[in-house]
Structure 1
Amino acid sequence: MGKDEEHKEVPFPAYAKFLVGGVSGMVASYAVHPMDFLKTRLQMSGSGGQKKMYSGPLDALSKITKAEGVMAVFNGGTACIGRQIIYATCRLGIYTTLLGMAQKGDEPPGFAIKAGCGMASGLIAGFFATPMDLCIIRMISDGAKPPDKQFKYHHVVNCLMRIGKEEGGIHGLYRGAFPTTCRAMVVNGSVLATYSQAKEFLMGIGQKEGLGLHSCASIIAGAVTAIVSLPVDIIKTRIQASKGAGNPLVIVGGIIKNEGPFAFWKGLSPYFVRLAPMTILTFIFVEKFTYWYHIYVLGNKNPKSNL
């Protein structure tokens, strides 16, 4: 066997891209779930013409822990894990696969292609993860309702079964599928493409591959994504929080009329505080797990990132 053939890099298998994406997403998402909890509660505050419950993130945290207990911020945690099994596995696995297909030689794809790959992966992942996303919103928002209006779900399986039984089967489970899928497209098109582009730019000005590079690129991607995707996230949350059918245009009109246009960025600080570490942790785990798989499973000595 020749020297070049002996050290030839083994291609990263497609199934491993999905596995790495799913595990990375689950670990990162559960770690920042309390911030997602606060973001959702703030988005629901003042909806439906009701009085605002919280003046900000700290006020929300204080009132929620006092009324519902310290562990209330982990309500919906089982649904969070279930969502990532579907969502993170699909979005990161599909994105890295499409990105690899789009690359010509050593020349990385342009930003538009990266964004297109991100939106395509988000569309597929967001649609199939809609039932789990619905469960997260229901379980998080439940404690903020009057006792007679609460669903009182025990866990994610109970939530899925009851929604399916009480709200029209598959149709009920896919309530809010359109805004959920739109949000996933916006989030993935911005976060994945921005991360890849920011990483490429930072490496071009001399930053080396490693934790610092991954963290800087993740923060840039998280900031861009938070601003761009929050309005769609709020509309999705309002639709999924109740049993009633929600028309996105009616909800948009109601928010502008009753709460003002800046209400579309309600909860921006916890959303970014949640999204930034979520983005950082996800990409760090993806990069590390990919590196370890190359080294310890495939035996590659100089592995390249998939992102």
Structure 2
Amino acid sequence: MVSGTDDKNTPAVVSLAAGGVAGGIEAFTSYPLEFAKTRVQLRSQKGIPTPKNPFLVVTQVYQKEGIRALYKGCAALVVGSIAKDGVRFLFFDQIKLAFADPETGTLSPLRNLAAGMTAGVVASVTAVTPTERIKTALIDDARNEKRFRSGLHATTVIWKEHGIFGLYRGFAGTTLKQASATAFRMGTYNILKDFEKTRNIEQNTLTNFANGSVAGVVTTLATQPFDVIKTRSQSAQGASTLEAIKTVLLDYGVRGFWRGTTMRLGRTVFSGGILFTSYEAAVKVINPLYSGVVHKVGAEAA
């Protein structure tokens, strides 16, 4: 990714650290909308229909269960986002360096998407699937059995009952979502930045936020079906990918695969801006610190 400093060679450790910081900030600030979106995508309880308006969902939960309920599962998502975004920024930046044009430092749109897709697959395997499983199970459990006391307790129970495969419920749907979402989100963002570079458009907080928001819109519309399937697969009871697809079709038909789009759009427009703005800012802070440490160590070694 082209950083806000236009440094084509952002060190791997800086990409990893800045991505982790950005992921944690983005996950925490936008979590209530993520909570509402997940509630809508889960199967409705008999006689208790779930509103489609995200703000109504948030308001109802707040009135009935308090502010803490809106952050049920948040810790799992924040931890997962730190790892996920650290990994995917790291891999995206390194892939971009490998395939970028040596003169301009840019990638073709197709290679931008391919770099994002690769980063998304790696992130899903290493961090996203298990943390998303815990987050979704906690949100689902909170409206039913309420047997999970915390993210750690939920992890322990699921592990005991289903083993490691229980933590990877919905792996196919999550990986499809992550591969496509990261391809569209990071690919779109980088395409916009490369375009702006050729037009000498200044890169600042406003342009970073705008680019991230546009990337969020594109990502949501293109990948919503994978997100719905993932949520159904990772409910408290869990389900296979095929079972998740079947229940969505039975409940809502084909349109059901875009259930929660409005809520996710509200989150991704906001979170996309926050994520990339935070990343660019973190790179500007961490890169000089890292360079200073490397220079000091090198000087002492000499």
1:209 is aligned to 2:207: no
Counterpart amino acid of residue 135 in structure 2: I
Partner of 1:302: none
Distance of 1:242 and 1:140 partners within structure 2: 8
Task: Note if contact 2:138-2:236 (Cα within 8 Å) is conserved in structure 1.
Answer: no
Closer, same or farther: CA 219–244 of 1 in aligned 2, 3 Å: closer
Identify if the C-alpha distance between structure 1 residues 62 and 11 changes in structure 2 by more than 3 Å, giving closer, same or farther: closer
Partners of 2:76 and 2:134 within 8 A in 1: yes
Partner Cα distance (1:53, 1:45) in 2: 9
Number of corresponding residues: 284
Structure 2 counterpart of 1:100, one-letter code: L
Q: Between 25-34 and 62-71, report the one with greater CA deviation.
A: 62-71
Output the TM-score relative to the length of structure 2: 0.87
Question: Residue 38 of structure 1 corresponds to which residue in structure 2?
Answer: 36
- Which residue number corresponds to residue 72 of structure 2? 75
Partner of 1:20 in structure 2?
A: 18
- What's 1:156 paired with? 151
Q: Does residue 60 in structure 1 map to residue 53 in structure 2?
A: no
CA, structure 1 residues 241+155, in 2 after alignment: closer, same or farther (shift >3 Å)? Answer: same
Aligned-partner Cα distance in 2 for 1:58–1:84 = 23
**Which residue among 198, 222, 227 is the counterpart of 1:228?**
222
| Cα shift at 1:89 | 1.3
User: In the superposition, relative to structure 1, how do residues 50 and 186 fare at CA in structure 2: closer, same or farther (>3 Å)?
Assistant: farther
CA distance in 2, matches of 1:51, 1:155: 25
TM-score when normalising by structure 1: 0.86
Residue of structure 2 equivalent to 1:268: 261
Which residues of structure 1 form unaligned runs of 5+? 1-8, 300-307
Any gaps of 5 or more consecutive residues in structure 2? 1-6, 293-302
CA deviations on 1:93-152 (whole Å, 9 max, x unpaired) are 11111111111313311011111111111001112221111011011222222xxx33x3
Identity %: 24
Q: Which residue pairs with 1:143 in the alignment?
A: 142
- 2:102 is paired with a residue whose SS is coil
Q: 1:10 to 1:181 in 2, by over 3 A?
A: closer
Matches within 5 A, 1:146-295: 149-150=145-146, 152-166=147-161, 168-246=162-240, 248-295=241-288
In the alignment, is residue 122 of structure 1 matched against residue 115 of structure 2? no
Question: Take 2:286 and 2:135, find their aligned partners in 1: how far apart are those partners?
Answer: 31
* Residue 296 of structure 1, CA deviation: 4.8
| Aligned counterpart in structure 1 of residue 98 of structure 2, from 101, 120, 126 | 101
